[in-house]
A = this chain, B = another copy of it.
Amino acid sequence: MNKVVSGAEAAIHDISDGSVIMLGGFGLCGIPENCINALVKKGVKNLTCISNNAGVDDFGIGLMLQQKQVKKMISSYVGENAEFERQLLSGELEVELIPQGTLATRCLAAGYGMPAIFTPAGAGTEVGTGKEVRNFNGKDYLLEYAFDADFAIVKAWKGDTAGNLVFKETARNFNPLMAMAGKITIAEVEELVPAGALDPDYIHTPGIYVHRIFQGSNYEKRIEQRTVRKR
């Protein structure tokens, strides 16, 4: 089972115009930097991107927005991005905003083979408009469908040649969920180790969910809000 590919370009070679892709990360934390750069270089267009955020102007998914590669964003929070705002207001970019927990759980549903889930988030608000509402135990829930993405692109801390993944701290976020949800899942990792080198009790994403894996390079890991205290 050879899941290891040479790098980001090989990993994304069959992502094409119009593909639906998921991208892991929360803000700029845990985003697949290498694959995003490769997608920018490849120049594929009309992408539908499912990602909690849309990066910043000059980093992350923001780079793809600058190249106008994105037709539609499905996200929960898209602030911090002037180019995004411009494209949204001009109508160039379609945006579907959904609650963060709904985003996460629709990934989980896809990864666990559940066609739809119920969540109270957004019930009674404009997010619920047109959606099926169902009352359980006196509370309204929305029926939300599992995502159906062609590709999931995630970034892990460590991975092995069998595709098993381990994430670090809050860089975990949506990554293991999207890893489960893609028809084809691509993982870039900071450190690629041989199968057997990771402790099988402490793997976050089993390799069965991962189709391609490579060790990324030159991680910038930009910090969005550097907050510190004095010593």
Q: Which of A's residues lie within 8 Å of B, judged by CB? A: 105, 112-120, 136-137, 139, 141, 166-169, 172, 200-202
Contacts and interface: CB of A to CB of B under 8 A. Distances in A.
A63 to B, nearest CB: 29
B136 A167 contact: no
A-B residue pairs, 10 tightest by C-beta: A115-B136, A202-B202, A114-B118, A115-B118, A114-B117, A116-B118, A115-B141, A168-B201, A169-B201, A116-B136
Nearest to A148: B137
Contacts of A167: 201
A115 B119 CA distance: 8
A229 to B, nearest CB: 20
Given A115-B141, A116-B118, 19 more contacts: A105-B112, A105-B114, A113-B120, A114-B117, A114-B118, A114-B119, A115-B118, A115-B136, A115-B137, A115-B139, A116-B136, A166-B201, A167-B201, A168-B201, A169-B200, A169-B201, A172-B201, A201-B202, A202-B202
A119 B114 CA distance: 6
A121 to B, nearest CB: 10
Nearest to A115: B136
A187 to B, nearest CB: 17
Nearest to A157: B201
A105 B114 CA distance: 10
